[in-house]
A and B are shown apart, each in its own frame.
With several copies, the nearest count.
Chain A
Amino acid sequence: MTRQTSGSPYAPGDAADTEAMLDAVGADGVEDLFDIPEPVRFDGEFGIEAHSERDARRLVERTLGRNDELTEFMGRGHYDHYVPALVEDLASRQEFLTSYTQYQPEVAQGFLQALFEYQSMLVELTGLDVANCSMYDAATALGEAATLSQRVRSVSGDRILVPDQLREGKRDVLAAYADGPDLSVETYPTDEGTVDVEGLADALDGDVAMVYAENPTVSGAIEPELGAVGDLADERDALFVLGSDPVALALLERPADVGADVVVGEASALGAGTAYGMGAGLFATREAYLRQVPGRLVGVGEDATERRAFTLTLQTREQHIRKERATSNICTNQALLALRTAIHVATLGPDGLVDLAEDCVVLARDLAARLDEVSGVRAPVNDRHHFREFQARTDQPAAAVASDLESAGFAVHVVGEHRIQVCVTDANEPAVDRFVDAVTEVA
């Protein structure tokens, strides 16, 4: 029912318009305009059915509706914090949502200023000098950091050191980026979920171009000796790249203070919510490496009336100018998510952001303590302070525990044969009591 669509509902004009336009062009029919040799003409059909708007929505809704409704206690690099409605409302304005990259800054001052503010927030959070206006995600930001290390380090070294517990998604992406410039990705040991500093020292030599660490780590542990890691990297002239996110950065040691040269991570821990892994890569570094930074940068300039104005800058680093000598092939990034992150940070303010970060510590600590009291569970596994998440040992096989929890309506990570990982934030905190009950039931 309802009006059937024979053409695109998003192409204006009626038959009379088409006629008049064909006349102007001097063609008999639209098909005449296609200069396609017969052998490669497509005469078939895709076999894709058209739908009314209502039905297209229903199709998506019904299909996705086949997902189980679970309350997620999951993290490991993709985090859920409550996103204030203001973020959605403002970022959805068409002037932001449907705009293109700011190649004509005179009609893009709004987005440019917002991205400049985003960069500024990350500069404050990291303590570093510059931040770009986003990479695809934390993993690709890490990959870009590895190629940066090749460009900025005079050492001939081609070894990249990462923690042995690195999330495999990041490891694989890093490997892809490392492949072109022939870097070798190697691991160093961890202990209780954080860097084994002595193990790292043993692995570090003059061939190392870059050392990567995270705070908090993928297991949720907070690094107790980050300064020592920075010192080690500095001693061997390796680039020290630190992974984190805007919530953790608000509370934990400031990267600049522990010697970080680059900070990467998920900016979209704020502003996006759960999105099946969609995020926005944070990338900040020292001024010294500015001209080697990948991705877009917004800077301040002046317009013809000498008023302050914003513009994309240092574009000679980029692919559309420098082609094969660009710092990266990145073009489209995650600008809209950067905008959302900025609005979320602004909505929280410094007090709210620090409060949220402190909640991440307290919630994880308290939940671990409660799970530790459950018979058959020990938590946290690592003797560390935690941020948002922690690992727990289960007497029963972890896969069975996770599966039973799914039946009870909860999702957790399985990270070892008898180990699960649990993440708690302001988003799932209201379900903590029910979660503890469920774990008690199934463990």
Chain B
Amino acid sequence: EYEPLLAEKDSTEVEIGDDSPLPDDLTRDSLELPALAEPELARHYTRLSGMNYGVDSGPFPLGSCTMKYNPKFTERAAALPEAAVHPDRSAASVQGTLELQAELQDYLGRIGGMDAVTLQPPAGAAGEFTGIRIAAAYHEANGDDRTEVVIPDSAHGTNFATAAMAGFDVVELPSAEDGRVDIDALEAAVGEDTAALMLTNPNTLGLFERDIERVAEIVHDAGGLLYYDGANLNALLGRARPGDMGFDVMHYNVHKTFATPHGGGGPGAGPVGVTEELAEFLPTPHVREQGDDSGYERYEPDRSIGKVHGFSGNWLVLVRAFAYIARLGDAGLADASARAVLNANYLASQIDYEVPYGPFHHEFVASAGEQDAADAAKRMLDYGVHPPTTKWPEIVDEALMTEPTEAESRGSLDDLAAAFDAVAAEDDATLEAAPERTAARRIDQVTAARDPRLSWHALED
């Protein structure tokens, strides 16, 4: 399969002519772009789509990335013309939008056990940034100068990067033998400089942090805040809530938990929930129902951290999340978690690779053992399935971090297990030669990075 670049099909330069409505010195001279008719473009992108794997193509068991089925009806809900208003519209003229925002804030608060929720962060990492900035503002308001954020070594890379971006020093916390937080190490790491501990629960091994109450106590006693990375919330719906565990701030990943499409990399949304104590620090504008039955309003919380998005975040993604939550309700959400956990446990029980830690919830990390996990993953592509996340977390050798989600049937899990086992039985040479049945064969990423060619202009040389 091969599809030429648009520019290889046609490249047409147009002059910005004398008939331009602007004087010459305000305009560029010319513009060169592909000039193709609609039928040609339809084929181009249709063929490109044929070289891309989506959730409807087959299982997509990327641990911690949680690619679950995206219900089609949510696309229709988000496509409503009423959703597409300008963000500067007067509050009086967009009461519907504000009401839906307020409802979603409420939904998310209930689900996370949080008192107030902002919808502004446009992605999970932006949610982290929002949450850590709230923590910073909180300490500053208390006249408390805290410079460190503590993060377990098994945490997502974004946690580290976020803390750094927000101006904090990162204190990395080694895991205990059982893959969980090492309480002694935590006690040693936490102190008067600690602004926050960032934690995922269940963690990236799928393990519930059983000592979460003790963890919270240690951090809170030191005057720090507890930040919940919502990446793994799909494991807990209706079973446990970050707010109840002692977390002060959290973000929700709407594509991971509420089935919004990931769009090949976004847009996402990373709403942030906080306890009542932290509500005054939320970004502006926040939305609330006015007390006197006079509808909904935007307002700036008293000590708002300001903004993390130019407008109000990725609203059309949030509309989908609202629709999903409203579709499932209490029982559906709880069932989603139950089935996600059952599926992960079932799949783990069916594969030959070792799964070193447990009991796990919605995901497990198998070890490819003597095999190279990245090679094993490439080989899985040949069996028509998407492989798990590889080589991470590092606590497991040659990690295959696997999260089937609730959206896979038993039959699909059996197929996936068969793919795992087929690969497990193969030799290194086979794995290194993989994939063989994909649109492109193994791509040499090292060379691509050594001589970066990042546009079709760079190919002309």
A1 within 8 A of B: no
Which of A353-361, A369-377, A433-441 forms contacts with chain B?
A: A353-361
Which chain B residue shows the least CB distance to A62?
Answer: B96
B161 within 8 A of A: yes
Interfacial chain B residues near A316, Cβ < 8 Å: 449
Contact of B166 with A179 in the complex, beta carbons under 8 Å: yes
Contact of B20 with A11 in the complex, beta carbons under 8 Å: no
Bound CA span A56–B328, Å: 9
Contact of B2 with A10 in the complex, beta carbons under 8 Å: no
Contact of A67 with B96 in the complex, beta carbons under 8 Å: yes
CB distance from B164 to the nearest CB of A (A): 4
**Which of the residues B33, B48, B323 comes within 8 Å of A349, measured between beta carbons?**
B33
A99 within 8 A of B: yes
Which chain B residue shows the least CB distance to A320?
Answer: B157
Bound CA span A169–B72, Å: 33
**Which of the residues A24, A123, A182, A326 comes within 8 Å of B157, measured between beta carbons?**
A326
A190 within 8 A of B: no
Bound CA span A139–B308, Å: 8
What 1/0 mask marks residues of chain B from 23 to 60 whose CB sits below 8 Å from any chain A CB?
10111110111111111111011111111111111001
Which chain A residue shows the least CB distance to B109?
Answer: A46
Which chain B residue shows the least CB distance to A173?
Answer: B307
Contact of A70 with B345 in the complex, beta carbons under 8 Å: no
Contact of A140 with B122 in the complex, beta carbons under 8 Å: yes
Contact of B441 with A303 in the complex, beta carbons under 8 Å: yes
Contact of A65 with B96 in the complex, beta carbons under 8 Å: yes
**With A95-B49, A140-B308: A254-B28 Cβ-Cβ less than 8 Å:** yes
Q: Which A residues, 81 to 97, have Cβ-Cβ distances below 8 Å to chain B?
A: 84-86, 88-90, 92-97
Bound CA span A295–B36, Å: 30
Which of B365-373, B420-428, B431-439 forms contacts with chain A?
A: B431-439
Contact of A66 with B99 in the complex, beta carbons under 8 Å: yes
B115 within 8 A of A: no
Bound CA span A309–B317, Å: 31
Interface centre among A63, A89, A114 (most CB of B within 10 A): A63
B224 within 8 A of A: no
Interfacial chain A residues near B80, Cβ < 8 Å: 60-61, 64
Contact of B311 with A179 in the complex, beta carbons under 8 Å: no
What 1/0 mask marks residues of chain A from 287 to 320 whose CB sits below 8 Å from any chain B CB?
0001000001111111111010111011110111
Contact of B164 with A304 in the complex, beta carbons under 8 Å: no
B188 within 8 A of A: no
Which chain A residue shows the least CB distance to B27?
Answer: A251
Contact of B308 with A328 in the complex, beta carbons under 8 Å: no
**With A100-B67, A303-B441: A311-B448 Cβ-Cβ less than 8 Å:** yes
Contact of B262 with A113 in the complex, beta carbons under 8 Å: no
Bound CA span A234–B316, Å: 40
Bound CA span A80–B207, Å: 47
CB distance from B260 to the nearest CB of A (A): 10
Contact of B327 with A50 in the complex, beta carbons under 8 Å: yes
CB distance from A294 to the nearest CB of B (A): 10
Contact of A67 with B95 in the complex, beta carbons under 8 Å: yes
Which chain B residue shows the least CB distance to A276?
Answer: B315
Contact of A332 with B71 in the complex, beta carbons under 8 Å: no
**With A12-B39, A33-B361: A107-B52 Cβ-Cβ less than 8 Å:** yes
Contact of B310 with A167 in the complex, beta carbons under 8 Å: yes
Q: Which B residues, 85 to 119, have Cβ-Cβ distances below 8 Å to chain A?
A: 85-90, 92-97, 99-100, 103, 107, 110-111, 113
Which chain A residue shows the least CB distance to B284?
Answer: A172
Contact of B443 with A301 in the complex, beta carbons under 8 Å: yes
Contact of B456 with A120 in the complex, beta carbons under 8 Å: yes
Contact of A137 with B342 in the complex, beta carbons under 8 Å: no
Contact of B70 with A97 in the complex, beta carbons under 8 Å: yes
Contact of B86 with A72 in the complex, beta carbons under 8 Å: yes
Contact of A329 with B158 in the complex, beta carbons under 8 Å: yes
CB distance from A13 to the nearest CB of B (A): 6
A197 within 8 A of B: no
Which of B189-197, B272-280, B404-412 forms contacts with chain A?
A: B404-412
Interfacial chain B residues near A241, Cβ < 8 Å: none
What 1/0 mask marks residues of chain B from 302 to 332 whose CB sits below 8 Å from any chain A CB?
0001111111111111010011011111111
**With A21-B410, A346-B36: A85-B166 Cβ-Cβ less than 8 Å:** no
What 1/0 mask marks residues of chain B from 10 to 23 whose CB sits below 8 Å from any chain A CB?
00111010001111
Contact of B244 with A276 in the complex, beta carbons under 8 Å: no
Bound CA span A115–B458, Å: 15
**With A99-B262, A180-B165: A323-B381 Cβ-Cβ less than 8 Å:** no
CB distance from A351 to the nearest CB of B (A): 5
Contact of B93 with A70 in the complex, beta carbons under 8 Å: yes
Contact of A411 with B265 in the complex, beta carbons under 8 Å: no
Contact of A329 with B165 in the complex, beta carbons under 8 Å: yes
Interfacial chain B residues near A7, Cβ < 8 Å: 331-332, 335-336, 339
Interfacial chain B residues near A365, Cβ < 8 Å: 21
A442 within 8 A of B: no
Sorting the interface of chain A by its residue count into under 10, 10 to 19, 20 to 34 or 35 or more gives 35 or more
B352 within 8 A of A: no
Bound CA span A406–B156, Å: 47
B387 within 8 A of A: yes
Interfacial chain B residues near A432, Cβ < 8 Å: none
A331 within 8 A of B: yes
Bound CA span A267–B47, Å: 24
A395 within 8 A of B: no
Interfacial chain B residues near A117, Cβ < 8 Å: 5-7, 456
Contact of A35 with B210 in the complex, beta carbons under 8 Å: yes
Interfacial chain B residues near A252, Cβ < 8 Å: 22, 26-28
Contact of A48 with B329 in the complex, beta carbons under 8 Å: yes
Bound CA span A110–B407, Å: 23
Which chain A residue shows the least CB distance to B314?
Answer: A278
Contact of A275 with B326 in the complex, beta carbons under 8 Å: no
Interfacial chain B residues near A273, Cβ < 8 Å: 84
Interfacial chain B residues near A123, Cβ < 8 Å: 454-455, 457
**With A64-B80, A95-B54: A324-B161 Cβ-Cβ less than 8 Å:** yes
Contact of B49 with A130 in the complex, beta carbons under 8 Å: no
Which chain B residue shows the least CB distance to A274?
Answer: B84
**Which of the residues B96, B165, B240, B331 comes within 8 Å of A147, measured between beta carbons?**
B165
Interfacial chain A residues near B249, Cβ < 8 Å: none
B298 within 8 A of A: no
CB distance from A379 to the nearest CB of B (A): 17
A430 within 8 A of B: no
**Which of the residues A22, A98, A104, A110 comes within 8 Å of B262, measured between beta carbons?**
A98
Contact of B164 with A349 in the complex, beta carbons under 8 Å: no
Contact of A106 with B264 in the complex, beta carbons under 8 Å: no
**Which of the residues A57, A140, A314, A332 comes within 8 Å of B73, measured between beta carbons?**
A57
Bound CA span A21–B454, Å: 35
Contact of B452 with A299 in the complex, beta carbons under 8 Å: yes
B162 within 8 A of A: yes
Interfacial chain B residues near A336, Cβ < 8 Å: 261, 263-267
Contact of B308 with A173 in the complex, beta carbons under 8 Å: yes
CB distance from A180 to the nearest CB of B (A): 4
In the assembled complex, 12 residue pairs joining A and B whose CB atoms fall closer than 8 Å, in A order, are: A8-B332, A35-B208, A35-B210, A49-B329, A86-B41, A100-B265, A110-B3, A113-B5, A117-B7, A274-B85, A311-B445, A334-B266
For the A-B complex with A222-B26, A276-B312, A302-B447 known, give 18 more contacts whose Cβ atoms are closer than 8 Å: A5-B327, A11-B339, A34-B361, A47-B330, A50-B326, A61-B77, A95-B53, A97-B263, A100-B62, A104-B381, A116-B5, A130-B454, A297-B454, A303-B441, A304-B441, A329-B165, A343-B45, A411-B86
